[in-house]
Amino acid sequence: MDGQTIMLLIFVFIIAAFLGVELISKVPSQLHTPLMSGTNAISGITIVGAIAACAINVDNHVFGMILGGIAILFATINVIGGYFVTDRMLAMFKKKEDKKK
Amino acid sequence: MEFIDFFCIFLYMIASVLFIMGIKKLGKADSARKGNLMSSIGMGIAVLSVLISQDVFDGGVIAYVIIILAIIAGSVIGFIWAKKVEMTGMPQLVALFNGFGGLSSMLVAISQYCALSGGSDAVGTDAFTSLTLGLTILIGAVAFTGSIIAWGKLAGLKMFKKNISIPGKNFINAGITFVAVLGIIFYMIDPEGGLGIAGIIITTVASLVLGVTLVITIGGGDMPVIISFLNALSGLAAAFAGFPIGNTVLIVSGCLVGASGVILTLIMCKAMNKSFASLLFKTVKKKASAATGEHKEPKAMSVEDAFLILEAAKSVVIVPGYGMAVAQAQHAVKELCDVLEDNGCEVNFAIHPVAGRMPGHMNVLLAEANVPYEQLKTSDELNPQMANTDIAIVIGANDVVNPAAINDESSPLYGMPIVNAYEARTVFVLKRGQGTGFSGIENPLFTMDNTVMIYGDAKQTVSQLVVEFEND
């Protein structure tokens, strides 16, 4: 990796960190659990890395390919489980008028 | 650059934007569900994008078969798990999913290393690539085993129940961290040779152990902090996994998760008046505070007598805690809330940020029981009017209502913001039996003149109160 690419990736990293801080800092406490499990699902983005890692190992390294496959499995559980469980939780948060109906 | 590469980056960009907008909407009650949907669409697009990328295309049929099978299996498991879990089991499920994320990132990094040693040119041998690859293993492994230990503690597994204290744990943890970092340095020196393999193995093993030793000494009541922290770690691991292959969508979304986890961690620490460092590094002092002055016995009251007082109340504040979750009393509490309101009484819930075992735990349980979210107030909102409240009902909460946090400088809780339940005209404390909370600290609230204890299972007690109202 050349220096320019490295600096660009670090740049992206730092900007994303500050963006995250700005986005989250004013979340009401009642949403803390859904926020945590929702962002937890997003951390399953590593599935993208897992798919790529599995594929680049196909021709060269069987063990690496298997590890990649296992990584895909666990990342998918994280993603699918995380999104569904967050949705289930959020579906329960309702306003007063909605509940009277 | 081929067209397909441009197209993939374009899709990653859309996915990243959807994540950002999704998180933003997730932070507001009205739009939260939509936000979660947006971020899941972003995830779908990101996965689609990598599936059509050159790397995966070059892998051929074998790659696609493995990938699709793994995705299908993971989806089925994740879906069933998410649908079947009880709301009271939510903290441990979140911990478990989080651990899977960390494990996955760790495996991705090791798999990337395998690709390098197998002769693929997708992973470089420069110092930066090697460093980030090693850090992914380190952070991912700590997030993995740490979350598994947290899961065991939250699920109440016997082997994790005791708060294990490791003598000289800071020394040991520092030692293990040093070994893990040493492994990364070995790998950086010689990524393609024997020293590199040794480095990868050393880092992996040391980091897996480190996750265990870091979390195993932390008590149940501190779980909201540690879960948030582990959430941050799994996000960071995903971000670092993006560096060796130069994948920006991993870096952006992993970093967003990392930032949100760090903020939640700090909010939780503030709510407990602890610094994060003291939580991780201090050894828990088991010294019970010496009984100061006269030792009063708490007054107990029967459910029937409690009903007579409740019937006359015009305003009630309910303070739930982890005990409500254990007794699964949330539905009974909602019924009590309904009969009180029918009786012309104003009912509010005072929710302390660290009540329960994960951030917002009480809110989720009460939402499950159909309590509208306007009724769920923070301690800051309700404390000013607590003195004008007829009855505060403390259900399975202890340390978060301990007045020692305000007026006893010698108390370990001193300085922690609490729900000022003691200011109410009458305080009911629903409690299973006499004893202290997780921290083992005496609670002077229980012996105050305006406090009465109603011993017994919280769910039964509350149900009996509801029956009294209905028979009335």
- Report the pLDDT value the prediction gives residue B434, as an integer from 0 to 100: 67
Please give the DSSP secondary-structure letter assigned to residue B360. Answer: T
Q: Residue B168, Cβ neighbours under 10 Å: how many?
A: 10
Left (φ > 0), alpha (ψ -120 to 50) or beta: where does B11 sit? Answer: alpha
Domain membership flag for residue A101: no
pLDDT greater than 50 at residue A4: yes
Report chain B residues whose CB lies below 8 A from the CB of A7. none
- Report the pLDDT value the prediction gives residue B81, as an integer from 0 to 100: 93
Cβ atoms of B222 and B155 closer than 8 Å: no
Domain membership flag for residue A99: no
- Report the pLDDT value the prediction gives residue B283, as an integer from 0 to 100: 61
Residues of the domain holding A10: 3-93
Please give the DSSP secondary-structure letter assigned to residue B199. Answer: H
Number of domains forming the structure of chain A: 1
Report chain B residues whose CB lies below 8 A from the CB of A60. 115, 118-120
Domain with CATH 3.40.50.1220 in chain B: 303-471
Cβ atoms of B40 and A41 closer than 8 Å: yes
* pLDDT tens figures, B328-376: 899 999 999 999 999 889 999 999 988 888 888 898 889 889 898 888 8
pTM for the predicted model, two decimal places: 0.89
Domain membership flag for residue A100: no
pLDDT greater than 50 at residue A42: yes
Residue B244: partners with Cβ closer than 8 Å, 6 or more residues away: B109, B112, B123, B124, B129, B132, B133, B136
Cβ atoms of A73 and B346 closer than 8 Å: no
- Report the pLDDT value the prediction gives residue B288, as an integer from 0 to 100: 45
Q: How confident is the model at residue A101 (pLDDT cuts 50, 70, 90)?
A: very low
Please give the DSSP secondary-structure letter assigned to residue B300. Answer: B
Q: How confident is the model at residue A49 (pLDDT cuts 50, 70, 90)?
A: very high
- Residue B408: active-site member: no
> Which superfamily does B303-471 belong to?
TPP-binding domain (3.40.50.1220)
ipTM of the complex: 0.94
Cβ atoms of A40 and A82 closer than 8 Å: yes
* pLDDT tens figures, B245-278: 999 999 999 999 999 999 999 988 888 888 888 8
Chosen from A29, A63, A96 to mutate, greatest number of chain B CBs within 10 A: A29
A28/A24 Cα distance (integer angstroms): 10
- Report the pLDDT value the prediction gives residue B431, as an integer from 0 to 100: 85
pLDDT greater than 70 at residue A99: no
- Residue B36 has its nearest CB partner, among A38, A43, A49, at A38
Left (φ > 0), alpha (ψ -120 to 50) or beta: where does B177 sit? Answer: alpha
- Report the pLDDT value the prediction gives residue B286, as an integer from 0 to 100: 46
If you measure CA to CA, which chain A residue comes closest to B271?
Answer: A29
Domain membership flag for residue A98: no
- Report the pLDDT value the prediction gives residue A73, as an integer from 0 to 100: 97
Question: Which candidate in B30, B190, B380, B399 is catalytic?
Answer: B399
- Report the pLDDT value the prediction gives residue A95, as an integer from 0 to 100: 67
pLDDT, one tens digit for every residue, chain B (472 residues):
688 889 999 999 999 999 999 999 998 888 999 999 999 999 999 999 999 998 889 888 999 999 999 999 999 999 999 999 888 888 899 999 999 999 999 999 999 999 998 888 888 889 999 999 999 999 999 999 999 999 998 887 766 666 677 788 889 999 999 999 999 999 999 988 889 999 999 999 999 999 999 998 887 778 888 999 999 999 999 999 999 999 999 999 999 999 999 999 998 888 888 888 887 777 655 444 444 445 677 888 888 888 888 888 899 999 999 888 888 899 999 999 999 999 889 999 999 988 888 888 898 889 889 898 888 888 888 899 899 999 999 998 888 888 888 888 887 778 888 999 999 999 999 888 766 555 567 788 888 888 988 888 889 999 999 998 888 7
For the CA atoms of chain A, what is the radius of gyration? 19
Give the closest-approach CA distance of A4 to chain B in angstroms. Answer: 12
Backbone angles phi, psi at B453, to 5 degrees: -100, 135
Q: Which of B223, B465, B176, B164 is nearest to B360 (CA)?
A: B223
Contact B71 A34 (CB under 8 A): no
Domain membership flag for residue A46: yes
Give the closest-approach CA distance of B384 to chain A in angstroms. Answer: 18
Give me B252's structure tokens: 């952006």
